[in-house]
Amino acid sequence: MSEAAALLRTSKNRKLLFSAGFSWLFDAMDVGLVSFIAAALSVDWSLNAQQIGLLAAINSTGMAFGAAVSGSLADRYGRKAVLLWTLLLFSVASGLSALAPNLMVLAMLRFVAGFGLGGELPVASTLVSESVPVEVRGRAIVLLESFWAGGWILAALISYFFIPHFGWRMALVIGAIPAVYALFLRRAIEDSPRYKEQADRRRLRFGERVASLWSGPYQRATVTLWILWFTVVFSYYGMFLWLPTVMVLKGFTLVKSFQYVLIITLAQLPGYFTAAYLIERVGRKAVLGVYLLMTAICAIWFGNASTAGMLLAAGIFLSFFNLGAWGAMYAYTPELYPTSVRSTGVGFAAAFGRIGGIIGPYLVGLLIDNGTTINAVFVVFFVAIVIGALTVMLFGRETKGMDPDRA
């Protein structure tokens, strides 16, 4: 991977990628902990499937608001400032969640944590996308997204070693660690050169930026991205936030389900790395289309798995292709908008996607409580993923090597 080596050879790029990457890792750790904690809460607080789905949906609601608000603020006040504040917000709220006495208080704190988390992700990807050379831009974003796998692995390890022995509250206390990391990040990163170049120009007002997303040059891109994000986030959060609980429903113990999910999570890393390799070789659309269609096939396989071996194999491939597609999606999205509205465009696409993240987990809980089988639930995700794949393949524009400020 000569391009990847060139990307990491520059100390400034390396520092940016790892600094933003660790903030991404902490985001993923928090989301992962919610999925494992949900399985523990179902036992500790005797929650039914619908209540677990509601908790995940509230977390995603916070992420939707956070993505829209923070994306817009980052175009107005800079990427660095918004990145730091969102990181601090979600880590403090996550730590306070450990003190929640009941489901209502926990849900309120998860909304705040979700707001910070949802705001940080699109801002971080925009910052990195604007700061690296165009020839390695897509690969840089997929490598940034690969830190998400590290966060899920960390969440799985924390859940496996801490929750059975110390309870779910201790896991949430660990989720407050990123607040300390924010102090380091304050000195480690700076706003992108592209954003600084526009510092002396008149910055568009909020209404102008939103209108621009729906103007002639960007209307098709916005519609395509919103459908893509909705279907991907709907299926991801519907499937992966329920993964430990689905394992329990299929007859495994809580500890055994944590073991299996840890193994499945490890498959995210090669999914990211293969997508990072291919995205500068064959382009964004091809990687997105193939990885999403393979995700859809694996969703059907997982839903119909009847043995431990089949369940594990299907889960590994589901994790591999789904997270590779996520990396490609994050690389693709900022490339469709110019600097003046880029963070707003990424934030609003992510926010609309989070609506899918609200519906997905809650829908799973509703369907399971009404007696729907697991394999029927995963058929719903199969259909959603295929719609997303076809949308980007038929209506998306290839952005490999393009400069959106000069398009």
d(CA 350, CA 226): 8
pLDDT digits (tens, 9 = 90+) for 199-213: 656 567 778 888 888
pLDDT digits (tens, 9 = 90+) for 172-201: 888 787 777 777 777 777 887 777 776 656
Comparing CA positions, the residue from 91, 271, 87, 297 lying closest to residue 174 is: 91
Who wins on pLDDT, 35 or 222?
Answer: 222
**Residue 118 domain-assigned (yes or no):** yes
**Residue 312 domain-assigned (yes or no):** yes
Who wins on pLDDT, 341 or 288?
Answer: 288
**Residue 69 domain-assigned (yes or no):** yes
Q: What average pLDDT does this structure show over 58-79?
A: 87
Who wins on pLDDT, 294 or 153?
Answer: 294
**Residue 246 domain-assigned (yes or no):** yes
- CB-side neighbour CA atoms (13 Å) of 294: 21
Q: Determine the structural domain holding residue 375 and report its residue range.
A: 12-187+213-395
**Residue 202 domain-assigned (yes or no):** no
DSSP state of 398: -
Report the pLDDT value the prediction gives residue 383, as an integer from 0 to 100: 96
Q: What's the CATH code of the domain at 125? A: 1.20.1250.20
What region, left, alpha or beta, does residue 28 occupy, with left being phi > 0 and alpha being psi -120 to 50 degrees? Answer: alpha
The pTM of the full predicted model, rounded to 2 decimals, is 0.80
Q: What average pLDDT does this structure show over 386-394?
A: 96
**Residue 195 domain-assigned (yes or no):** no
Structure tokens at 105: 């208080």
The 10 Å CB-count burial string (b at 16+, else e) for 347-356 is bbbbbbbbbb
d(CA 66, CA 58): 12
Question: What's the N-to-C CA distance of the chain in angstroms?
Answer: 28
d(CA 235, CA 189): 33
d(CA 246, CA 265): 15
Report the pLDDT value the prediction gives residue 255, as an integer from 0 to 100: 59
Over 80: is that where the pLDDT of 401 sits? Answer: no
Report the pLDDT value the prediction gives residue 1, as an integer from 0 to 100: 46
pLDDT digits (tens, 9 = 90+) for 310-335: 888 998 999 999 989 998 998 899 89
**Residue 89 domain-assigned (yes or no):** yes
Question: Which run of H or E residues covers position 34?
Answer: helix 11-44
Of 43-47, 110-114, 169-173, 187-191, the one with minimum mean pLDDT is: 187-191
Over 90: is that where the pLDDT of 395 sits? Answer: yes
86: buried, middle or exposed (CB in 10 Å: 19+, 13-18, 0-12)? Answer: buried
The total domain count for the chain is: 1
Is 157 in contact with 93 (CB distance < 8 Å)? no
**Residue 333 domain-assigned (yes or no):** yes
Percent of the chain exceeding pLDDT 70 equals 92
Per DSSP, the residues of 107-131 read HHHHHHHHHHHHHHHHHHHHHHHHH
Count CB atoms within 10 A of the CB of residue 12. 10
Who wins on pLDDT, 231 or 256?
Answer: 231
Structure tokens at 189: 């990163």
* Alpha carbon of residue 160 to chain centroid: 22
Mean pLDDT of the chain: 84
Of 82-86, 161-165, 242-246, 285-289, the one with minimum mean pLDDT is: 242-246
What region, left, alpha or beta, does residue 197 occupy, with left being phi > 0 and alpha being psi -120 to 50 degrees? Answer: alpha
